[in-house]
């Protein structure tokens, strides 16, 4: 199934819970399967799937774990990756969503605006704030790195 890993990756960062994430992606794929007639050939299938994922996520009342499970990112090899993961998880969900889609998944701000049904300006400002917050969270780590 195309884009499943990407959907799962974003869903895990979104819900901060692997089980919820799998449920969310499963629901996304089933919704996509049922609503495949609604997909317009030639348009961006990946963006379409992410749109379904976010609709499902918001439709489920943002099932989100109260805190990050310690086992969630145990596979991250480097300490930096762990720190960044924690900083990401601490971001407000709106900012985290935009950051994941733009920076990790490589969507343009315009595409993200389409996925999240937001004005492009809102996406850009959320991305900017997300970077700012992340930068301040990671500042001690950066200092250590340059020491």
Partner 1 sequence: MTDEELDQRVRAAVLAEQIDAAPLERSISQRIGRRVLPRWALPVAAGIAIFIASGLAYRAVFSPQTPAICLAAAEDHRREIVNGDPRRWLTDLAAIESLAEKQGVPRSAIAALGTTGYRLERARLCFLKKQIFLHLVYTRDGEEFSVYLRPRGSQSPFDGTVREASIGPEDLAYFQTDRLAAVVVSHRGALPFAVKQRLVLQ
Q: Which residues bind partner 1 (CB under 8 A)?
A: 1, 4-5, 8-9, 12-13, 22, 25-26, 29-30, 33-34, 73, 75-78, 80-81, 84-85, 88, 99-100, 103-104, 131, 134-135, 138, 142
With respect to partner 1, which residue has the nearer C-beta, 90 or 104?
104
CA distances in angstroms from 56 to 25, 29, 71, 102, 110, listed in the order given:
9, 10, 25, 20, 21
Six token digits for residue 108: 């343009």
Six token digits for residue 107: 């969507």
Cα distance from N-terminal residue to C-terminal residue, the chain: 45
CB of 111 to partner 1, least distance (A): 16
Per the CB < 8 A criterion, the answer to whether 117 and 54 are in contact is: no
With respect to partner 1, which residue has the nearer C-beta, 41 or 75?
75
CB of 135 to partner 1, least distance (A): 6
CB of 68 to partner 1, least distance (A): 13
With respect to partner 1, which residue has the nearer C-beta, 104 or 117?
104
Six token digits for residue 4: 């499943």
3-class secondary-structure state, position 91: coil
CB of 138 to partner 1, least distance (A): 7
**CA atoms 133, 137, 143, 145: torsion sign:** negative
With respect to partner 1, which residue has the nearer C-beta, 93 or 103?
103
């Amino acid at each position: 199934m195309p884009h499943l890993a990407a959907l799962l990756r974003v869903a895990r960062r979104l819900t901060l819970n692997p089980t919820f994430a799998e449920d969310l992606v499963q629901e996304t794929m089933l919704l996509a399967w049922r609503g495949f007639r609604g997909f317009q050939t030639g348009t961006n299938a990946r963006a379409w799937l992410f749109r379904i994922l976010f609709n499902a996520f918001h439709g489920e009342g943002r099932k989100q774990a109260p805190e990050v499970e310690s086992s969630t990112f145990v596979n991250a090899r480097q300490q930096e990756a762990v720190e960044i993961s924690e900083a990401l998880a601490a971001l407000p969900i709106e900012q985290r969503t935009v950051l994941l889609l733009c920076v990790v998944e490589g969507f343009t701000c315009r595409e993200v605006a389409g996925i999240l049904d937001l004005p492009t300006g809102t996406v850009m400002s959320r991305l900017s704030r997300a970077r700012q917050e992340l930068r301040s969270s990671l500042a001690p780590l950066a200092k250590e790195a340059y020491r």
